[in-house]
């Protein structure tokens, strides 16, 4: 059996329109949820709100990447490229957070 | 000479070359924006308590732009699907919608930039701060020579920290009026441009780079919608692949905005 990515399969325009309508509605809902969270009174500071808002943004991003970019059914090579990207992206963010307070001696007073 | 694997998949990768190319390019773009997002984290974490701004950006306009980009991502996908089912008229319609949505996004972004560049913070010699949008500068206004007056529509606060959280009850209750200030009363005056503070610096950098991507993507999509669509008559398969590749770039631009909007407007 030939392994086909989503973009190689036969396309039905009407089914794509239905898919897009569902994705758009979910994006509207998640965007509303982010705004509601932002203006809500959760916790004392922003930490909890930022965590919830970013979690909702990740759901949003999954929808766009998974369905609109067909990442849910792509070829192994694309996944390999993305795996490397994720690895280096996590490294970039991790090193940044790790180095947040790592000032060389004598260069910062806090 | 014909370029190989522009239509058919390479036997080793299972994908046509342009698709491998765009995914490698998008991987490099992730690192580019990732670097800027990590700069944002450093600036935010490093800000003194109470000095990181909240509520400085217009959430309504940001939400409208989010919806516009989501819609444009959908019309891009439908344009590609229309090519796949050989409906060129629908392709033209959907891609035309994408161009209009993208231009509207850029128009709103320009309005937001203009609003920030017209918004001034004035440090007064008495230690207070005036903050508001520029209404008028007198003809002889010169801050260096200390001549003339400037009129802002805004309010005056005792402490600069009061200008940081515009969602606070105090900021919401503040009454905004036209304030005329003599140049002799001004210690320092500057707009909310990139040089204002670290928030505006990273805001203009991130959204400016994103807007450049939108502009570039729009030009490419316009080319495929207009003169580039001639390829449809000679090589529809290759043209469809071009639409898929440009669509992948457009979805990536949408993905970046999905994180920019909450990070800058909502938190």
Determine the average pLDDT of the residues in B36-47. 90
Shared domain check, B208 and B152: no
**Tens digits of residue pLDDT in B100-146:** 999 999 999 999 999 999 999 999 999 999 999 999 999 999 999 99
| Residue contact A92–B31, C-beta within 8 A | yes
Q: What is the pLDDT of residue A110?
A: 52
Contact A31, B92 (CB under 8 A): no
Q: What is the pLDDT of residue A1?
A: 43
B177: exposed, middle or buried (Cβ count in 10 Å: 0-12, 13-18, 19+): exposed
Q: Is residue B234 part of a domain?
A: yes
Q: What is the CA radius of gyration of chain A?
A: 20
Shared domain check, B106 and B207: yes
Q: List all residues of chain B from 126 to 185 with a beta carbon under 8 Å from chain A.
A: 167
| Residue contact A16–B262, C-beta within 8 A | no
Shared domain check, B238 and B223: yes
- Diameter over CA atoms, chain B: 75
**Tens digits of residue pLDDT in B142-173:** 999 999 999 999 999 999 989 998 988 888 88
Does position A49 have pLDDT exceeding 70, yes or no? yes
Shared domain check, B149 and B30: no
Q: What is the pLDDT of residue B48?
A: 87
Shared domain check, B112 and B138: no
Shared domain check, B251 and B135: no
Concatenating the DSSP letter of every residue in A46-58 gives SHHHHHHHHHHHH
Last residue of a domain, one of B142, B167, B190: B190
Does residue B38 belong to the interface with chain A, where contact is any CB pair within 8 Å? yes
Does position A2 have pLDDT exceeding 60, yes or no? no
Paired tokens of B265: 């407007």
Q: What is the number of domains present in chain B? A: 2
Q: How confident is the model at residue A33 (pLDDT cuts 50, 70, 90)?
A: very high
Residue B139 CB contacts under 8 Å (≥ 6 apart), including other chains: B148
Q: What is the pLDDT of residue A5?
A: 66
Q: Report the residue from B9, B54, B262 with minimal CB separation from A53.
A: B262
Last residue of a domain, one of B142, B173, B190: B190
**Tens digits of residue pLDDT in B237-262:** 999 999 999 999 999 999 999 999 99
User: Complex ipTM, two decimals?
Assistant: 0.87
We report the CATH number of the domain holding residue B74 as: 1.20.120.80
Contact B250, B73 (CB under 8 A): yes
Domain containing B248 equals 17-41+57-116+196-266
Q: What is the pLDDT of residue B133?
A: 96
Q: Report the residue from B41, B82, B87 with minimal CB separation from A97.
A: B41
Does position B204 have pLDDT exceeding 70, yes or no? yes
Q: Is residue B180 part of a domain?
A: yes
Does residue B57 belong to the interface with chain A, where contact is any CB pair within 8 Å? no
> What's the whole-model pTM score?
0.91
**Better pLDDT: A45 or B232:** B232
Shared domain check, B169 and B85: no
Percent of all residues in chain B with a pLDDT value above 70, rounded to a whole number: 100
Round to whole Å and give the CA distance between B137 and B152. Answer: 9
Residue whose tokens read 């200030």 = B181
Last residue of a domain, one of B173, B190, B207: B190
Nearest to B130 by CA among B166, B169, B176: B176
């Amino acid at each position: 059996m030939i392994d086909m990515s989503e973009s190689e399969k036969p396309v039905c325009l009407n089914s794509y329109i239905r898919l897009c309508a569902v994705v758009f509605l979910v994006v509207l809902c998640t965007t509303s949820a982010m705004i509601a969270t932002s203006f809500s009174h959760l916790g004392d500071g922003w930490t909890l709100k930022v965590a919830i808002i970013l979690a909702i943004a990740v759901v949003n991003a999954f929808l766009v990447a998974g369905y609109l970019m067909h990442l849910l059914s792509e070829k192994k090579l694309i996944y390999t490229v993305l795996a490397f990207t994720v690895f280096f992206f996590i490294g970039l963010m991790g090193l940044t957070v790790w180095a947040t307070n790592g000032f060389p001696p004598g260069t910062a007073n806090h | 000479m014909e370029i190989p694997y522009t239509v058919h998949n390479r036997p080793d990768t299972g994908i046509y070359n342009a698709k491998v190319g765009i995914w490698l390019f998008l991987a490099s773009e992730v690192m580019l924006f990732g670097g800027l997002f990590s700069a944002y984290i450093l600036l935010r974490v490093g800000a003194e308590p109470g000095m990181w701004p909240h509520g400085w950006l217009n959430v309504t306009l940001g939400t409208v732009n989010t919806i516009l980009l989501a819609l444009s991502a959908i019309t891009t996908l439908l344009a590609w699907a229309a090519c796949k089912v050989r409906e060129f008229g629908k392709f033209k319609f959907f891609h035309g919608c994408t161009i209009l949505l993208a231009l509207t996004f850029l128009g709103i972004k320009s309005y937001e930039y203009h609003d920030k560049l017209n918004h001034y913070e004035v440090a007064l010699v008495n230690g207070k701060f005036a903050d508001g949008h520029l209404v008028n500068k007198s003809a002889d206004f010169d801050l260096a020579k200390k001549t003339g007056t400037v009129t802002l529509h805004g309010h005056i606060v005792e402490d600069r920290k009061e200008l940081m959280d515009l969602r606070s009850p105090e900021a919401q209750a503040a009454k905004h009026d036209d304030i005329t200030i003599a140049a002799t009363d001004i210690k320092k005056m500057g707009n909310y441009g990139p040089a204002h503070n670290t928030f505006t610096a990273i805001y203009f950098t991130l959204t400016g780079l994103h807007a450049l991507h939108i502009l570039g993507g729009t030009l490419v999509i316009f080319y495929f919608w207009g003169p580039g669509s001639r390829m449809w008559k000679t090589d529809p398969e290759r043209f469809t692949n071009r639409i898929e590749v440009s669509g992948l770039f457009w979805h990536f631009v949408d993905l970046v905005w999905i994180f920019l909007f909450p990070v800058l407007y909502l938190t």
